[in-house]
Amino acid sequence: MPITPLTLPAFPRSKLFVDVKEQEFTREYLDYLIDLFNRVGGASFFIPDFSPLTASRIVATDSDGEAESVTDLTNWILGTTGQITVTDNGDGTVTLSDAPNTTRITNADSPYTTLSNDRNIFTNTDNDPIIMNLVVGSKGIYHRIANTGSSGNAVTLNPNGMDLLLGSNSSVKLLDGDVLIIVYEASGPEGWW
């Protein structure tokens, strides 16, 4: 069986092999390795040219499928500066939480049903009492509810269906200045605590 001579690609000379600051291979060196791999009989492939992009870690595609730099991850994810929860799914993907809301309600919004992403709910009871109905419980949902009123009116907080609120299936009242932080725990009979 005759031996076919291997012609090596031109070795890169204009740049360092490794960008010491970023501790990454340079684009030129990666191109060299790919060309060498292809000539040895490997599968043909290429790495897209992202050199015009400014991001060093995250690149996204816009609505036209064009690559763009991601410089502010929070704003890129959901257009908010609030708390974002990222869950590693273990398969190379992640799940992102909804953007948290800061909600302000008055008696005009009553009865108000909370949303799963309502984090801080400020209730102004100065004109009249407020009725607030909790969203159907789901593990990990939490609310911080504050009665910001000062006229003696209460916020009546109602659990949804058979959900428990502080250990029972009944309403809780928040008086002027009261703040309640509740989290829903789905395992067992806990409910909202």
CA distance 191 to 155: 20
Statement: the pTM of the whole predicted model exceeds 0.75:
no
Q: pLDDT tens, 162-173?
A: 889 999 999 999
Give one DSSP letter per residue of 16-72, joined into a string.
-SEETTTTEE-HHHHHHHHHHHHHHTPPP------TT---SS-EEE-TTS-EEE-S-
CA distance 142 to 180: 10
Task: Please work out, in degrees rounded to the nearest 5, the angle formed at the alpha carbon of residue 48 by the alpha carbons of 44 and 54.
Answer: 160
CA distance 3 to 132: 81
pLDDT of 78 strictly over 60 = no
Residues linked to residue 59 through DSSP beta bridges, in sequence order: 69
Which amino acid is it at 144? R
Quickly state the pLDDT bin for 126 (edges 50, 70, 90). Answer: very high
- CATH 2.40.50 for the 101-192 domain, yes or no: no
Every domain of the chain and the residues it spans? 18-96, 101-192
Compare 23 and 150 and report the one with higher pLDDT.
150
Residues linked to residue 25 through DSSP beta bridges, in sequence order: 18
pLDDT mean over 102-108: 92
